[in-house]
Amino acid sequence: MLAQIVSFWSGPVSYLERTCAASMRAQGHPVTIYSYTPALIEAAKLDADVRDARTILALNDEIARIAAAKPAIVADLFRLALMQQGAGVWLDLDIVQIAPLPRPSGPLFAVEGTKGKINNAALYLPKDSPLLAEMMRFTAARPVMAPWWTGRRWLKHSAAQWIGRPIPPESCQWGVFGPKALTWFADQNGLRGHALGPETFYPVAWDDRADLVDDVDVAGRFTEKSIGVHLWANGLRKLIAEKGIHPASFLAKTAQRYGIALPADKLRAN
């Protein structure tokens, strides 16, 4: 049986999200996207079931403040809340799915690159998982004090706490509730061996993301284990703004396959 795919979105919907959602549907998956502005997502006509995020994670003052400053942190918290409810397998909306994903029977996550970091762009944790319980305790604790912090970062946060001005979550380093936390707690729980290889969801590395919009045959990096291709949207958008999208690129061909129109001003002449 195929996995139920779940995700979260905040803000305008672009051709990137449309392409990725369409690719998930094309593999036969039910796809549910949660948002605090569900009417806007529905109006964008994403190929997915759209639901109000408040049914999973209350939009309290802290979440609203974080969402205004760093929406990615809310997405990190939201995927854990979905795991608590057994809602499905999380895929970021910048993952193009290239193969079906069976419903996992245990934890699902994968390493990106060569340095051993476990990314949370593709994630499933059973709701009774000790790993999930530890991550939920960590993300709920205030002030934020990550157990992997050492040296200056630990001193900075400790000093701020000591003087009564703790550093809020939205001012913490990137990934504190995401890949950094997942990597740390997976290792602490002895689950490193469960991590899939980068070829499963990250066959095109962050440093090679330009290949996704250039005339490069990235399919040669896929294996029989490849399920998705992470587009690294935050970095890719900047590249697209600088150089555009080659019509023979992986992104252009994928969008065309699913009938997603790319903005004319984003396409290169050749």
Q: What is the pLDDT of residues 144-180, one digit of tens each?
A: 999 998 878 778 888 877 888 888 899 988 899 999 9
- The pLDDT score that the predictor gives to residue 166 is 81
- Rounded CA Rg of the chain: 19
Q: Are 124 and 3 in contact (CB under 8 A)?
A: yes
Residues 6+ apart with CB under 8 A from 234: 72
Q: Is the pLDDT of residue 5 over 90?
A: yes
pLDDT of 51 over the 90 cut = yes
**Percent with pLDDT over 90 in the chain:** 88
**pLDDT at 93 > cutoff 90:** yes
The full set of domain ranges for the chain reads 5-126+194-263
pLDDT digits 0-9 by tens, 120-131: 999 999 999 999
Residue 270 reports pLDDT greater than 80: no
Question: Residue 184, Cβ neighbours under 10 Å: how many?
Answer: 17
Q: Does residue 17 have a pLDDT over 90? A: yes
> Which residue would you say has higher pLDDT here, 159 or 27?
27
- Can you give the pLDDT at residue 207? 97
Q: What is the pLDDT at residue 152?
A: 84
Q: Is the pLDDT of residue 31 over 80?
A: yes
Q: Is the bond preceding 102 in cis, omega lying within 30 degrees of 0?
A: no
Residue 112 has pLDDT above 90, yes or no: yes
CB under 8 A, 24+ apart: contacts of 162-167? 166/142, 167/143
Whether the predicted pLDDT of 238 surpasses 80: yes
Cα–Cα dist 270/262, whole Å: 14
**Mean pLDDT rounded to a whole number for the chain:** 95
Phi/psi of residue 230, nearest 5 degrees: -75, 130
Q: What is the pLDDT of residue 167?
A: 85
Mean pLDDT in residue range 180-203: 97
